[in-house]
Structure 1
Amino acid sequence: MTTRSPHTVNEVMTSTVVAVGLDAQFKEIVSVMRQWQVSAVPVIEGEGKVVGVVSEADLLPKEELRDTAPMMIEQQRRLADYAKAGALSARELMSSPAITVPATATLPMAAHLMARHRIKRLPVVDETGTLKGIVSRGDLLKIFLRRDDELADEIRHDVIDRLFPVSRRSIHVEVSKGAVTLTGTVRDPALVPVAARLTQAVEGVVDVNCLLTSPITGPAGAASAAPEEAGTAR
């Protein structure tokens, strides 16, 4: 059985993306950002290979440092900012190499890159580094808009049916606003935390309340349940 999660960047990215060339001038870049209402643009060369990114942070030093007469020590401390304050083209302004993400990357991978580099969006590229789209923080959150019935169906088929081929008919999956509740009786108690973990890993799940139980016998309350048949998730 094919597992439908995890989803990839290709499924949530914006395919229509504005970019500038290496020779794009300062005023042109500002105009493009304003027109498209974005805070950063990829810089491309040739047939669309991403070589850098110009963000608002790269442009602001020109205004911030316009009338300053800093001491030499201040110039040394902010050498990159002073260089960008005098830059005129994307070639001089861009941050390079660009932090990009492949279209085949999972959403957690993209989120990790954004968090690690403290950026709001990533150019999406193919195996040759050619620009294919852009993915933002907002795009990554789209996955939480999945319908409850869609989530329940995926959990039923990709978690419950695989983990509990014998007990699956006694297990109920309820989803409300992305929060999942699992109830019912299973034969193997060791698989209960596995079910909770795999359910939480389904893209779009907000929370998991795992109430699965198993038959308990014996003087010490030890579980004496027969293991589930073949089909346990790997």
Structure 2
Amino acid sequence: MASTRYTVDDVMTKTVVTVTPDTEFKEIADAMERWKVTAVPVVDEGGSVVGVVSEADLLPKEEFHERPPGMIDQMRRLGDTAKAGSVRAGELMTGPAVTIEPGASLPRAARLMAGRRIKRLPVVDADGRLKGIVSRADLLKIFLRPDDDLAAEIRHEVVDRLFPNSRRDVKVGVTGGVVLLTGRVPDSALIPVAARLAQSVEGVVGVECRLEGPESA
């Protein structure tokens, strides 16, 4: 039993602003401003992602603009102080880039972002070529699914399959992404299973399960 599984390909941004390793600092900053993005993938001549330049990679240039880094700063922040003196994407970027494939699940993408403490992931094919980019905001799009769609999927994928002979006795309501299951079912052992499966449907915010087992004789 499996509900619809959305992948990174379903939510990612497919038109991506990119730069090359030779793109200069000012061009990178201009691209970020023009397209209202906070990071750009760096791609080589073959379209493969070799790194990412983010606002954080550019900021050391401003931080040390008036005051060159001292010895302590150079020792403690080797990466930042090196970037302060860099002028091209290949020197400024963070690499190798952390990437993900289009067919990856949304939970996997979320775990990867959380574990690596990054806000976005370039999406690449099996050859490493850029196909899109997925951000934290993109992952949240799944929670914009209409309540009626969620209710229909839960009824078809959960209720109809778990309780084929008593499905009409089960009511499925969804409000603001929160599912309410009510009614009576013939097997009490399946109640927590129904709640768990409903919660696993992409876009569900929470589940309130009020299902009851068979009446006592």
- Which residue in the other structure is 2:42 paired with? 43
- Is residue 122 of structure 2 the alignment partner of residue 123 of structure 1? yes
CA displacement, residues 199-226 of structure 1 (integer Å, 9 cap, x when unaligned): 01111111111011012548xxxxxxxx
Change (3 A) 1:44 1:80: same
Q: Is this contact kept in 1: 2:73–2:81, CA < 8 A?
A: no
- Is residue 8 of structure 2 the alignment partner of residue 9 of structure 1? yes
Q: Is this contact kept in 1: 2:188–2:213, CA < 8 A?
A: yes
Listed as ranges, the matches of 1:17-166 within 5 Å are 17-166=16-165
- Displacement of 1:175 in angstroms is 1.1
Change (3 A) 1:47 1:167: same
- Displacement of 1:142 in angstroms is 1.0
Q: Over the residues paired in the alignment, what is the CA RMSD in angstroms?
A: 1.5
Change (3 A) 1:122 1:203: same
Listed as ranges, the matches of 1:129-208 within 5 Å are 129-208=128-207
Separation in 2 of the partners of 1:13 and 1:186? Answer: 40
Identity between Structure 1 and Structure 2 (%): 62
Count, aligned residues:
217
Q: Structure 2 stretches of 5 or more lacking a match?
A: none
Q: Which has the higher Rg, Structure 1 or Structure 2?
A: 1
- Displacement of 1:70 in angstroms is 4.2
Separation in 1 of the partners of 2:89 and 2:110? Answer: 26
TM-score (norm 2): 0.95
Paired AA for residue 91 in structure 1: G
Q: Is the partner of 2:51 in helix, strand or coil?
A: strand
TM-score (norm 1): 0.88
Where has structure 1 moved over 3 Å in runs of 4 or more? none
Q: Structure 1 stretches of 5 or more lacking a match?
A: 219-234
Q: Is the partner of 1:53 in helix, strand or coil?
A: strand
Change (3 A) 1:69 1:48: closer
- Displacement of 1:6 in angstroms is 2.1
Q: Is the partner of 1:23 in helix, strand or coil?
A: coil
